[in-house]
């Protein structure tokens, strides 16, 4: 079913189609999905605050961040291929994401303490402002998740993922792509593009959830959909933080 296609790889057409072959006596709802998303978001916030406080107390949280990033990636892959495990694996995934986000936020806050002391709160405000704006644009039909729209966003998202992977591999050989980290016009322009693509993924996620409910996806898909939405929002926040860091690092 093409309606279940999303730019978010965790909310794929195949995963929702496969779920429809199960017991539909207890089906997915928007309220249930939102409740589970809020629970996962609380998990993120709780571990993020813990890691933030540890950083400010002089603890080296970098190893925690690396471990959380690796563990989160493993859990994300398992949930993506085994959606039925979402109710069990999504909460620990949220905790791991919080450790990574909390450490990253504390690092940025410390690095820009003198030039941009409110950089983290700015990133948080911009992220949730964008989420709200995208939700309104989706609900009012101003932006519609048409097949062409989905294809463009999916292709752009895949391109960014491949580019980041190439940059990571090159960095292992001490080859850096300068504009990924510097506050040049090109670097800022690239970050703006990535933020825009992440924001557009929200439209696809909202559409995916709405259609999952309409098609009677089983109850466990609420966890799967909530997990996918969390992935997009965390990605958007990280890119917002990077963009603000570039803007504030310009001479």
Per-residue pLDDT of the chain (251 residues; tens, 9 = 90+): 333 334 455 555 555 555 555 555 589 999 999 999 999 999 999 999 999 999 999 999 999 999 999 999 999 999 999 999 999 999 999 999 999 999 999 999 999 988 889 999 999 999 999 999 999 999 999 999 999 999 999 999 999 999 998 988 888 888 888 777 777 888 899 999 999 999 999 999 999 899 999 999 999 999 999 999 999 999 999 999 999 999 988 65
Output the pLDDT for position 23: 52
Domain chopping of the chain, boundaries = 8-248
User: Coil, strand, or helix at residue 127?
Assistant: helix
Element spanning 2, H or E: none
Output the pLDDT for position 37: 97
pTM score of the predicted model: 0.88
Burial class (CB in 10 A: 0-12, 13-18, 19+), 13: middle
In this structure, is the dihedral angle defined by the CA atoms of residues 190, 247, 233 and 62, taken in order, positive or negative?
positive
Count of positions (residues) in the chain: 251
CB 131 within 8 A of CB 81: no
Output the pLDDT for position 184: 83
Q: How far apart are CA 191 and CA 185, in angstroms?
A: 10
Q: For the beta carbon of residue 42, count every other beta carbon within 10 angstroms.
A: 13
């Amino acid at each position: 079913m093409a309606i279940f296609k999303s730019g978010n790889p965790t909310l794929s057409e195949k995963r929702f189609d496969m779920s429809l072959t199960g017991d539909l006596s207890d089906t997915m709802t928007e309220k249930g999905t939102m409740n589970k998303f809020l629970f996962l978001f609380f998990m993120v916030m709780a571990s993020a605050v813990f890691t933030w406080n540890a950083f400010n107390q002089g603890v080296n949280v970098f190893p925690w961040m690396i471990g959380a990033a690796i563990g989160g990636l493993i859990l994300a892959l398992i949930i993506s291929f085994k959606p039925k495990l979402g109710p069990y694996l999504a909460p620990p995934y949220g905790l791991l994401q919080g450790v990574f986000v909390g450490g990253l936020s504390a690092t940025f806050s410390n690095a820009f303490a003198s030039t941009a002391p409110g950089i983290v709160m700015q990133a948080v405000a911009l992220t949730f402002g964008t989420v709200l704006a995208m939700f309104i644009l989706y609900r009012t039909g101003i932006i519609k998740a048409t097949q062409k729209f989905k294809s463009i966003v999916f292709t752009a998202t895949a391109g960014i993922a491949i580019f980041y992977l190439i940059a990571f591999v090159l960095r292992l050989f001490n080859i850096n792509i300068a504009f990924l980290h510097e506050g040049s016009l090109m670097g800022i322009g690239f970050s703006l593009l990535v933020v825009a693509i992440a924001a557009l993924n929200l439209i696809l996620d909202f559409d995916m959830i709405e259609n999952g409910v309409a098609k009677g996806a089983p109850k466990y898909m609420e966890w799967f959909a909530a997990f996918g939405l969390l992935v997009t929002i965390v990605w958007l926040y990280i890119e917002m933080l990077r963009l603000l860091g570039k803007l504030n690092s310009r001479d």
